[in-house]
Structure 1
Amino acid sequence: MSAAEILSLFPATFLSFLVAFGLGLVFWVAGLVVVSLITPHSELTLLRAGNLPCALAFGGKALGMVLPIAAVARTAAGPFDQIIWCIVAVAVQLVVHLVLTTLLEGRLKEEIAADKLGGAAVFIAFMQVGAGVLNNAVMSG
């Protein structure tokens, strides 16, 4: 394929990129907002204050959530397919979040309140990333 042919295809492929990237970004941010709304503390306020347990746990949630969204962007048959599978990706990560916070019975909340990094924040971060990796692998087929 010549450079001229590649350049002639660029506008259409760039538009596809923008749509896929935009949808992925919307679902990533929306998923993180939902996670923030269902937690007993304000992550944004805590992150601005430099709370390390919150930063680690929320960072793990953010990475765990974007991994399957990235897989969906790569494999979706089109925007509608991407929307459907992004909803599934975010839902899976939210379920993992709820299960982990239930299993640890407020331990992360205690660490965040004390601003002292402990096992709960580390465990939750790694489990969220692990769930995201698994979710990514399943969704990328």
Structure 2
Amino acid sequence: MPNALASPEILAFAAGFPLALLHAATTLAILVAGAGLYLVLTPHREIALIREGNAAAALSFAGVLVGLALPLAAAMTASASLLEIIMWGAPTVVVQLLVFRIVDLMLHGLPGRIREGEISAAVLLAGAKLASAIVLAAAVAG
């Protein structure tokens, strides 16, 4: 009976799993850094608003997280190395951060609207982030 631990499948998994973890950890680090940068750059304090029960802030920040995660996941899927993940991931974070500014220009006073709990503004922001994330993910995936 052959040794099951020496099968090609197990050996391939043993060789690839640490690399997969490294790629996932790097992508998650970019996600956390991007979300942190978003929190620093927006004039309102989203986490504090969420803790106070502001649904608009929660919806807005959820859009940020998913909007960042989609193109980062595509970058991880399409990349063969850590450097590629970083090279594709970092610009997608920048574009997602710019989406906030574009929606703010459209709505005039987006941070104040979110602070006041205006769900419609948060829905538009989340939708814009998701739409741009889908396009970015497709662009990165090629």
Give the TM-score of the pair, scaled to structure 1. 0.90
Equivalent residue, structure 2, for 1:45: 48
Judged with a 3 Å threshold, the aligned counterparts in structure 2 of structure 1 residues 113 and 43 are, in CA distance, closer, same or farther, namely closer
Number of equivalences: 138
Deviating more after overlay: 128-137 vs 85-94: 85-94
Equivalent residue, structure 1, for 2:82: 79
The percentage of counterpart residues that share the same residue type is 32
Give the TM-score of the pair, scaled to structure 2. 0.90
Which entry has the higher C-alpha Rg, 1 or 2? 2
Aligned partner of 1:95: which letter? Answer: L
1:35 to 38, 60, 64: 38
- Residues 1:109 and 2:111 aligned together: yes
Instruction: Give distance in 2, aligned partners of 1:124 and 1:111.
Output: 11
Aligned partner of 1:109: which letter? Answer: P
Instruction: Give distance in 2, aligned partners of 1:10 and 1:64.
Output: 30
**Structure 1: where are the runs of 5+ without partners?**
none
Equivalent residue, structure 2, for 1:67: 70
Distance apart, 1:96 and its partner CA: 1.5
Return structure 1 stretches of 4+ with deviation > 6 angstroms: none
Equivalent residue, structure 2, for 1:16: 19
Instruction: Give distance in 1, aligned partners of 2:51 and 2:10.
Output: 43
Instruction: Give distance in 2, aligned partners of 1:31 and 1:137.
Output: 19
